[in-house]
Chains A and B, each alone.
Chain A
Amino acid sequence: MNPREPHTLTSAIELDDVNYTYQGIERQTHALRDISFTIASGEPVAIIGPSGCGKTTILSLIAGLIAPDSGKVLVNGTSITGPRHHTSLILQDYGLLPWKTVIDNAALGLTLRGTTRAEARATALEALHTVGLEEFAKAYPNELSGGMRQRLALARALALEVDIMLMDEPLSALDALTREELQDVLLKLWQRQSYAQVLVTHSIEEAVFLGRTILLMTPRPGRIRTIIKNPSMGSSQYRQTAEFYEKCACLRKLLIEENGRARLAEIGQPYEDGDDEIALMMAGELVDA
C-alpha cells in the first residue's frame, strides 16, 4: 500500500488557527479564516476548492513569503519567519528565469545558497538527469515545451534536496497527456525523495492521484470544509482502480455542493439540502475544469 522507501529528510507542517487578510486598494479580502491542519513528514497533501478560497495563500504562508495576521505556521515545530532553504515553491508558470540556461536555472537554488559554481552545476546536472532533461542543459527555457519547463522546475527543487515541496497548479497549462505523464513523474519523485508535498490543484483526478490527504476548501472567507483520506494513493495503477473512480466521484459531489453553496451565498440565499440540482447547474463550469 505504501511503496515508499525509507528516507532521511523529514519535516512536518503545522498551521494553527491561521487568519490572513489581503489589503486591497478598495476593500480587504478575508483570504483565510481559522485554518488549522497538520501535515506529517513526507505526507502528500492535495488542496482543492473553488477559485478564491485561499489555496495559494496557504502555500505562500508555508513558503514563508507572507506572515499570518494571527495564528501560527510551524515547520518542524518552529515558527517560520521567512523563506527556508529546504522548501521549494513551484508556481503555475514554473518561476523559471528566461535569461538563465536550463542548467543555471536548475542550479539557482544552490547558487543562492553560496554553493560553488562547479558543485552547483554537478548537482543540477544530476537533477536534470532525474527528470530527463540532461541533454537540454545548455538550452534556454524559451526553447523548451511546457512539459519540459515543468520538469525543469522540478529539477530545481530536486537539486536543493527539499523536504517540503509546494506546488501551485503546476500542471494546469499542460495538455491532457503531458499532464498525466507529469503526474506520474511527480508521484515517482515523491516516492523516491519523500518530501512533504502540498499540491494546489483544480483537477479532481489530480487531487486524488497525488494527495493521500485531500483538503477541500471553501471560499469567502477561505476555510477548510472537509478533509478526505485517500489511503490508497500511490499504489500501482491507482488510476485504473474502482477505488480511484469512487474517490473522484465523491470529491466531485462535494465540490459541486461547495460551489453551489458559494454561488447561492453570492446571491444571498441560504443553501439547503434540496438545492443540489441548482448547485449542479450553477457549478457546471467547475466540473468541466
Chain B
Amino acid sequence: MRSNLRIIIGYIVAFALIVVFWALASWLIKSPALPLPWDAIEQFFVTLPDTFSHILISLWRVIAAMVLGTVLGLPLGLYIGRSERADVLAAPLLYLLYPIPKVVFLPILMVLLGLGNAPKIILIAVVVFFQMLVTARGAAQAIAPESITSVRSLGASPLQIARHVVLPSSLPDIFTALRISIGTAIAVLFLSESIAGSTGIGYYIMNAWSRLDYVAMFAGIIAMGAMGVGLYEILNIIEYRVIRWKHITKR
C-alpha cells in the first residue's frame, strides 16, 4: 500500500543525499560552474516568482504532448499488436522510424509552425507516440490467448474484446511506457526550448548559462527536477486508481 508519509520521508532522504554529494563535488571541483547546493536552492526560492511562469509553460507543453502522443499511439499500437495483417506493414515502418532521433525534425517543425508552443508539443508528442506505439504493440501481442478465447466464447465483438481484455491487460505496460516517456519528454523539451523561443524552463537554464550565471542555472535545474517529480507523482496517482487489481496480493 502507498502511504503518503512514507513517500514524503523518501523524498526528504533522497533530497538530502543529493545535496550531500552535490556539496562534496562542489568542494572538490572548486569551479564557479558547479555552485554550492544551498546557493542554488536559495536562488530557486528567490527567483521562483519569475521562474514560475516558465515552469507552468513547460509543464503544459509536456502534459499536452504526452496526452496527444498517448491518445494517438495507444490505440494504434494495440491494434497493430492484435492484427497480424496490420503488423505486416506496421512492423517494418516502426523499425525504420523508431530508431531515428525525432529531434532531427525540429528544424522542419519550426519552419512550418514557428517558434511557439506548437512545434515543441508536436515534437515531444511524436517521441511519446513512438514509445507508446512500440510498448502497446508488444503488450497487445503478449496477451494470454485464453483471456481472449474465454471472452470470445461468451460472444464478444472485436470492440468488446478490445475494451474488456486488450486495453485493461495492457495498462500496466502502458504505465511503464509513460514513466519512461516522462524522462525522454523532458529531455526533448529542454532541447527544443533551448533552441527556439524565450519561454520555458529549458530556455531559462540556457539563458542563465549564456550569462555565466551558474547559480541561476542550477536553480533552473532544480525547477526541472521538481517538475519531473510532479509528473511522476501525478502518474502514480492515476496508475493506482486505474489498475487497482495489480496492487492486490494473493490471500
Which chain A residues in 156-197 approach chain B with CB under 8 Å? 156, 160
Stretch at the interface among A46-54, A106-114, A229-237: A106-114
Which chain B residues in 165-183 approach chain A with CB under 8 Å? 165, 168-169, 171
The minimal Cβ–Cβ distance linking B207 to chain A, given in whole angstroms, is 47
The minimal Cβ–Cβ distance linking B167 to chain A, given in whole angstroms, is 9
The reply to whether A99 and B168 form a contact with Cβ atoms under 8 Å apart is: yes
**Which of A63, A85, A93, A108 is in CB contact (< 8 Å) with B164?**
A108
CB neighbours of B160 from chain A (8 A): 112
The minimal Cβ–Cβ distance linking A110 to chain B, given in whole angstroms, is 9
The reply to whether A87 and B248 form a contact with Cβ atoms under 8 Å apart is: no
The reply to whether B154 and A112 form a contact with Cβ atoms under 8 Å apart is: yes
CB neighbours of B95 from chain A (8 A): none
The reply to whether B251 and A145 form a contact with Cβ atoms under 8 Å apart is: yes
CB neighbours of B250 from chain A (8 A): 142-143
Closest partner residue, chain B, to A143 (CB atom) = B251
Q: Is B151 an interface residue (CB 8 A)?
A: yes
The minimal Cβ–Cβ distance linking B247 to chain A, given in whole angstroms, is 10
The reply to whether B154 and A160 form a contact with Cβ atoms under 8 Å apart is: yes
Binary per-residue interface labels of chain B (170-212) against chain A in the complex, 1 for a CB within 8 Å, 0 otherwise:
0100000000000000000000000000000000000000000
Stretch at the interface among B60-68, B97-105, B142-150, B224-232: B142-150
The reply to whether A65 and B153 form a contact with Cβ atoms under 8 Å apart is: yes
The reply to whether A63 and B153 form a contact with Cβ atoms under 8 Å apart is: yes
User: Interface on chain A toward B: helix, strand, loop, or mixed SS?
Assistant: loop
CB neighbours of B155 from chain A (8 A): 82-85, 109, 112-113
Binary per-residue interface labels of chain A (52-68) against chain B in the complex, 1 for a CB within 8 Å, 0 otherwise:
00000000000111000
Interface size class of A (residues with CB under 8 A): 20 to 34
The reply to whether B169 and A99 form a contact with Cβ atoms under 8 Å apart is: yes
Residues of B in contact, count (CB < 8 Å): 24
The reply to whether B151 and A95 form a contact with Cβ atoms under 8 Å apart is: yes
Bound-complex Cα distance A93 to B156 (A): 19
Bound-complex Cα distance A91 to B243 (A): 25
The reply to whether B146 and A91 form a contact with Cβ atoms under 8 Å apart is: yes
Known contacts being A99-B168, A142-B249, is A89 close to B151, with CB within 8 Å? no
Which chain B residues in 111-162 approach chain A with CB under 8 Å? 144, 146-147, 149-156, 160
The minimal Cβ–Cβ distance linking A172 to chain B, given in whole angstroms, is 14
The minimal Cβ–Cβ distance linking B21 to chain A, given in whole angstroms, is 41
CB neighbours of A87 from chain B (8 A): 153
CB neighbours of B156 from chain A (8 A): 112
Closest partner residue, chain B, to A94 (CB atom) = B150
CB neighbours of B169 from chain A (8 A): 97-99
Closest partner residue, chain B, to A111 (CB atom) = B164
Q: Is A213 an interface residue (CB 8 A)?
A: no
The reply to whether B245 and A89 form a contact with Cβ atoms under 8 Å apart is: no
Which chain A residues in 67-125 approach chain B with CB under 8 Å? 82-85, 87-89, 91-100, 108-109, 111-113
Known contacts being A142-B245, A143-B250, A145-B251, is A97 close to B154, with CB within 8 Å? no
CB neighbours of A142 from chain B (8 A): 245, 248-250
* A interface, CB within 8 angstroms of B: 63-65, 82-85, 87-89, 91-100, 108-109, 111-113, 140, 142-145, 156, 160
Which 4 pairs show the lowest CB-CB distances between chains A and B?
A95-B150, A89-B153, A99-B168, A83-B155
What are 10 A-B pairs at a CB distance below 8 A? Answer: A64-B153, A83-B153, A88-B153, A91-B150, A94-B150, A97-B151, A97-B164, A99-B245, A112-B164, A144-B251
* B interface, CB within 8 angstroms of A: 144, 146-147, 149-156, 160, 164-165, 168-169, 171, 243-245, 248-251
Given contacts A92-B146, A100-B245, A142-B248, 16 further A-B contacts (CB under 8 A): A65-B152, A65-B153, A84-B155, A87-B153, A88-B154, A89-B153, A95-B146, A97-B147, A97-B164, A98-B245, A99-B243, A112-B156, A112-B160, A112-B164, A142-B249, A156-B154
